[in-house]
Chain A
Amino acid sequence: MICLRKQLALATISLLSTGASYAEYEENNWKVDSSLANYTEEDRVSVTKIMASVNGNVSETDNVSVRATHDTMTGATPTGAVQANSVVTITNPSGGGGFDATGGSAALAPFNDNRLGLDISWKHDHTRQISTAYTAAVSIESDYRSYGASTTLNYSTNSKATTFSVGVGGTADTIYRVGGANTPQPLSNVQDQIFFDEGERATLDWLLGVTQVLNRYTTLQFNYTQSASKGYLTDPYKMLSSTDSNEIELNRFFEKRPDSRARTAASLVLAHQIPEREDILHLSYRFYDDDWDIKSHTVDLRYLFKLGNYVTLGPHLRYYQQTAAYFFRRTLNTGEPLPSFASADYRLDDMTTQTVGLGITVRIFQGGLLRARFEQINQEFEQAFFSENNIQLYQISYQHKF
């Protein structure tokens, strides 16, 4: 039952930032949200995320949102080198650096890190049909710093049935190895321990989007984005092995990626409430292509089953498939000349990711929303040494509107 006040207010719906969507009229002005997520890879990385956000209408035409995130990351990550059979053990004179391999540990490097992130966004309605959004983001870890900002302009037709969006953004990142604050000479032999200063990269993004209301139950959005990065795009920790025909490691090199990357992505996103019920379907498809030869397809499906007035059950399915980067190599071959670029990072391999999840939402108190979900994510890789990555995600969140 929608009260008259809400109906009148809905006539002045304002638009949100990145691509346009219909903002809910807030009877209450402020929204506080908090979330705890635990991400665990089988035998590898674990991450605990704590997030908190505040969102509010600071005036009739302005909405501001601030979100803080803290991540704790532990575990071991694949280096890209072979799993040890017979391995060279190297340390430098000071005892640090190099690598030390016993059993399978050459292929995995332990790490322990924290990340602090802050995102701010401000949405401003200039007129009934024109709005702008500005975002700024900071992310800091012991081996990484990132600063980003973006601005988006949204224009709606008079009936607000169609909204056009254009946006531009940029990011500046500094990347280095923890402790040394340095980066290795790309494709240098790990034994030689040659290091340079911190790596820097800059990225420019732009977006064009159209959002169309098809009917009272359905919104469809199309986004087209391009991104150009330049600078240090290599991972300062990742290595690859040079092996003989039996894949026995004889040498180890730091990886090297190109110093530029141009990406294109397009997505189609649908939200639809089943007219006879209150269930909602969310379906999206994204196509991605870049000049490293990675092409991917992503399909994402969420279905919200409304069980009464207070509870919603939400299964989730996602399917992702990508082709490998042209310089991805499982190993280098002893005797071949070093290629221009090479990486054994499994994230650049031919891969598929399949996600199955279930979430539940419960309305409690007056204006409170409790959510919990579990997701099982399975990745399979074509060539990389670790041929699969099995991940479990738990997340619990509570939001309150004032």
Chain B
Amino acid sequence: MTKVTALFAIIFVASSISACSVFKYEKVKAWQKGVLAKDEMQLRGGDEMEIYVDDHIYFSKEGSTGGYGIGAGGCGCN
């Protein structure tokens, strides 16, 4: 439980740092979309090679799949 607590504490702190700015809604003009278009701002981290490997590992070693998108191939991994 200690590790879990620590993990959630980290998440909470990280969220708190930017809590105000995260959920403040504004209408974004086309010329203001520079940050959103960055590679690093792509959802789930932006590095497709790393996400692909992670998804493959956890699909093979855990009992859950999917939830983030659609279209990945299967694997007979043991």
A positions within 8 Å CB-CB of B: 2, 6-7, 10-11, 13, 16-19, 21-25, 33, 35, 37, 39, 45, 49, 51, 53, 67, 69, 73, 77, 111, 115, 117, 119, 121, 133, 135, 137-139, 141, 143-144, 146, 148-150, 152, 159, 161, 167-169, 171, 173, 175, 203, 205-207, 209, 211, 213-219, 221, 223, 225, 227, 235, 237, 263, 265-267, 269-275, 280-284, 286-288, 290, 292, 294, 296, 298-304, 312, 314, 317, 319-320, 322, 325, 347-348, 351, 353-354, 359, 361, 371, 373, 377, 379, 389, 391, 393, 395, 397, 399
Instruction: List 28 interface pairs A-B (beta carbons < 8 Å), by A numbering.
Output: A6-B34, A18-B68, A18-B69, A18-B71, A19-B68, A22-B36, A33-B49, A37-B53, A119-B73, A138-B73, A141-B76, A144-B74, A148-B73, A161-B27, A171-B73, A203-B74, A214-B26, A215-B24, A216-B28, A223-B67, A266-B67, A284-B44, A286-B67, A301-B7, A312-B40, A377-B57, A379-B61, A391-B61
Q: Tell me the bound Cα distance from A397 to B50 in angstroms.
A: 9
Q: Tell me the bound Cα distance from A217 to B11 in angstroms.
A: 18
Q: Are B14 and A135 in contact (CB under 8 A)?
A: no
Q: Tell me the bound Cα distance from A177 to B64 in angstroms.
A: 23
Q: Are A10 and B66 in contact (CB under 8 A)?
A: no
Instruction: Given contact pairs A216-B36, A263-B66, enumerate 15 new A-B contacts (beta carbons under 8 Å).
Output: A51-B49, A115-B76, A139-B74, A167-B70, A171-B73, A173-B74, A227-B66, A267-B67, A269-B44, A274-B17, A280-B40, A282-B45, A296-B62, A320-B62, A395-B49
A10 with B62, Cβ < 8 A, contacts A223-B68, A301-B14 known: no
A282 with B44, Cβ < 8 A, contacts A51-B49, A320-B58 known: yes
Q: Which of A33, A143, A284, A298 contacts B48 (CB 8 A)?
A: A33
Which residues of chain A are within 8 angstroms of B42 by Cβ–Cβ distance?
A: 16, 21-22, 24, 271
Work out how many contacts link A and B, with CB atoms closer than 8 A.
Answer: 275
- Which chain B residue shows the least CB distance to A209? B69
A10 with B34, Cβ < 8 A, contacts A215-B25, A377-B57 known: yes
Q: Are A207 and B34 in contact (CB under 8 A)?
A: no
Q: Tell me the bound Cα distance from A314 to B36 in angstroms.
A: 18
Q: Tell me the bound Cα distance from A290 to B66 in angstroms.
A: 12
Q: Are A19 and B58 in contact (CB under 8 A)?
A: no
Q: Tell me the bound Cα distance from A100 to B27 in angstroms.
A: 67
Which residues of chain A are within 8 angstroms of B31 by Cβ–Cβ distance?
A: 7, 10-11
- Which chain B residue shows the least CB distance to A389? B61
Q: Which of A205, A209, A267, A274 contacts B21 (CB 8 A)?
A: A274
Q: Tell me the bound Cα distance from A317 to B45 in angstroms.
A: 12
Which residues of chain B are within 8 angstroms of A17 by Cβ–Cβ distance?
A: 69, 71
Q: Are A267 and B68 in contact (CB under 8 A)?
A: yes
Q: Which of B27, B28, B68, B76 contacts A146 (CB 8 A)?
A: B76
A175 with B76, Cβ < 8 A, contacts A33-B49, A218-B22, A283-B14 known: yes
Q: Are A272 and B50 in contact (CB under 8 A)?
A: no
Q: Are B49 and A35 in contact (CB under 8 A)?
A: yes
Q: Which of B25, B38, B75, B77 contacts A214 (CB 8 A)?
A: B25
Which residues of chain B are within 8 angstroms of A373 by Cβ–Cβ distance?
A: 50
Q: Tell me the bound Cα distance from A393 to B54 in angstroms.
A: 10
Q: Which of B21, B70, B76 contacts A215 (CB 8 A)?
A: B21
- Which chain A residue shows the least CB distance to B26? A215
Q: Tell me the bound Cα distance from A17 to B70 in angstroms.
A: 9
A161 with B61, Cβ < 8 A, contacts A148-B72, A216-B35 known: no
Which residues of chain A are within 8 angstroms of B75 by Cβ–Cβ distance?
A: 115, 117, 139, 141, 144, 146
Q: Are A216 and B49 in contact (CB under 8 A)?
A: no
Q: Are A117 and B14 in contact (CB under 8 A)?
A: no
Q: Are A214 and B24 in contact (CB under 8 A)?
A: yes
Q: Tell me the bound Cα distance from A216 to B34 in angstroms.
A: 8
- Which chain B residue shows the least CB distance to A306? B40
Which residues of chain A are within 8 angstroms of B38 by Cβ–Cβ distance?
A: 24, 273, 280
- Which chain A residue shows the least CB distance to B76? A144
Which residues of chain A are within 8 angstroms of B53 by Cβ–Cβ distance?
A: 35, 37, 39, 49, 51, 393, 395
